[in-house]
Each structure stands twice: as structure tokens, then as C-alpha cells.
Amino acid sequence: MEGSNEDGSDAINTGVHDQERKSKSAGIADPSSSIGLKVAHGLFLHDVIVPVQASFGDVKSLLVQETGLEPQEQRLLFRGKEKEDAELLSNAGVKDKSKLLLVEDSAARERRIHEQQEQEQITRACQAISDIQANVDKLSEQVSACEATAKEGGGCPDKDLLSLSEMLMQSLLKLDAIKAEGEAKNSRRTEVKRVQGLVDTIDRLRGANTSPPSVENEVIVTTQWETFDSDVGSNSGCRVRLLINKNPEEISGVPRKDHCQTSDLAAPSSPKMNLASESKMW
């Protein structure tokens, strides 16, 4: 008998301690001023202890840990009617051991899932941009090395500059293929500007490597028109003389004979053709 009493006392004490624990977790200093509610959610039944003057919004806050649903994703029904968050339990007639029904708000759930998907997409985009940034950092170091060489009077091989430019353009294509929103979109925009700046630097270095074309042995062809008397009637004809000069420095007005080769082409005469019109036609 004594053992039975002790077992019963232990059970009662356990229940009291459990109520006190739940009351403290709900922020209730005096358990006597609280009520116990049973909240049905699908196949689950949750026990909640709240102050007598608590609102339905307070109940939702306590159910977050139990259900994993945020307050805005919860709908609480009492006696078949949905209750507003600000409404007090006592005003709605909720008493100790009353039963509430919790229904998940499908629209809020869809919004939460959509937000989670967006966040996951942003995370993936940020990771992809970070990988590209690491590769561009290495290419940037090579571009800086080429700039330093150019400032010292040297030059980078054009094939190396062309290779760097191609790799940077590939990075631009990868950045363009990333679907980014929010923070990731700003990061992508910043990285695109950086890559474009490096490509511009390479173009400038390649331009500095290009030497002006040599004028040595350059061939210049000039045209000189000469009139002559045609044997047919009294019409005038003309002959085109192509003067091929291989040394442009010797040109002053008419090319020197010893540097020119002459090719005479006789142009057919025309009754109404003058020298100016034939020059255009030629």
C-alpha cells in the first residue's frame, strides 16, 4: 500500500511539475491563472497552457515550436469559426480544456515554399559567381603582370594577350548565363564590369604591341593622263600612263624617272568624251 501511494504521489508530482514547466515556457508566473488547451492539427493533438487573458495570436506563437508553422501560416478555429489573432480567448468563450482546431494556411505555405526556392536560387547563383570570381582573380594577376612589363618598356607576346582575352570572354558568357536576383544580381553586375575592364586593358596592350607598317619598298601607283591626236577624224584620244614608284620619299610632284616604271594604255577615242569624263570612267 505504501508503495502504491508513493507511485501515485510520484505521478501527481510529475504532472504538477510538467504543468509548471509548460506554464513557465508560456511566460505564466502563476499556473492558477492559466488554462490548458488541446489543439488538433491533422493526426496530432498538442497540449498548450496559456494565460486566461491570452489571445489567439498568443496561442499561435506557442504552436510554432510544436508544429514548425509560423503564426501567419496558421489558422485557428473554435466551434467551427476562424478566430482573429487579436481576439481574446475569454471573449470567445474558450475555457480550460477547450479544444481548438489548427489548419495550415495553404496560400501562406505556398508563399513560404516560393521564398525558400528563391533563396536557394540566390544561394546557387552566389556560389557560381564566386567560382567565376576566383578564376578571374587569377587572370587579373596575369593582366597586371603584362601591364607592369609594358610600363618597363617591354611587351607581352600577342598570343598570350589573345589567350587571356579569350578566357575573360568565356567568363563573361558564364556570368551572362547565371539567373540571378537580389544580392546575386548585384554581384554579377559588379563582376561583369570588372571583366570588361580587364578586356579593355588587354586590347590597349595589344594595340601598343602593334608597330606601324613599314614604308620601305612600298609601291605607290599614280595615274597620269596624256592627250594625243587620234588618226581617226579630228577627235582627241587619251593615253593612261601608270607611274609605279617604289620609293615614296622621292615623290615631289612628278616621280623621278630612275625610280619609275611606265605602262602606257591607249584609251579608245569617243566623239563626246573629254579628259575629265574619261578619268571618272577609268
pLDDT recorded at residue 252? 45
Please tell me if the domain spanning 2-104 has the same topology as the one spanning 110-209. no
- pLDDT (mean) for 199-225: 65
Q: What is the pLDDT of residues 38-64, one digit of tens each?
A: 999 989 999 999 999 999 999 999 999
- Domain ranges in the chain are 2-104, 110-209, 220-281
pLDDT recorded at residue 33? 84
pLDDT recorded at residue 110? 83
Cell (9 digits) for 167: 578566357
- pLDDT (mean) for 10-16: 42
Residue 207's identity, in one-letter code, is G
pLDDT recorded at residue 54? 94
Give the span between the Cα atoms of 233 and 89, in whole angstroms. 126
Q: What is the pLDDT of residues 102-145, one digit of tens each?
A: 998 888 778 888 888 888 989 999 999 999 999 999 999 999 99
pLDDT surpasses 90 at 81? yes
Residue 187's identity, in one-letter code, is S
Q: Name the one residue in this structure whose C-alpha cell is 625610280.
A: 259
pLDDT recorded at residue 237? 45
Closest Cα to residue 80, out of 67, 93, 65, 70? 93
The CATH number of 2-104 is 3.10.20.90
For the chain, the three-class secondary structure string (H helix, E strand, C coil) is CHHHHHHHHHHHHHHHHHHHHHHHHCCCCCHHHEEEEEEEECCEEEEEEEECCCEHHHHHHHHHHHHCCCHHHEEEEECCEECCCCCEHHHHCCCCCCEEEEEECHHHHHHHHHHHHHHHHHHHHHHHHHHHHHHHHHHHHHHHHHHHHHHCCCCCCHHHHHHHHHHHHHHHHHHHHCCCCCHHHHHHHHHHHHHHHHHHHHHHHHHHHCCCCCCCCCCEEEEEEEEEECCCCCCEEEEEEEEEECCHHHCCCCCCHHHEEEEEEEECCCCCCCHHHHHHHC
Instruction: List, in sequence order, every residue forming a beta bridge with 229; answer none if it has no partner.
Output: 236
Q: Does domain 110-209 have CATH number 3.40.50.2300?
A: no
pLDDT recorded at residue 21? 53
Q: What is the pLDDT of residues 221-266, one digit of tens each?
A: 444 445 444 444 444 444 444 444 445 444 444 444 444 444 444 4
Pairing of strands 260-267, 236-245: antiparallel
Query: Per the confidence metrics, is the pTM higher than 0.85?
Result: no
| Per-residue confidence band for 32, with pLDDT thresholds at 50, 70 and 90 | low
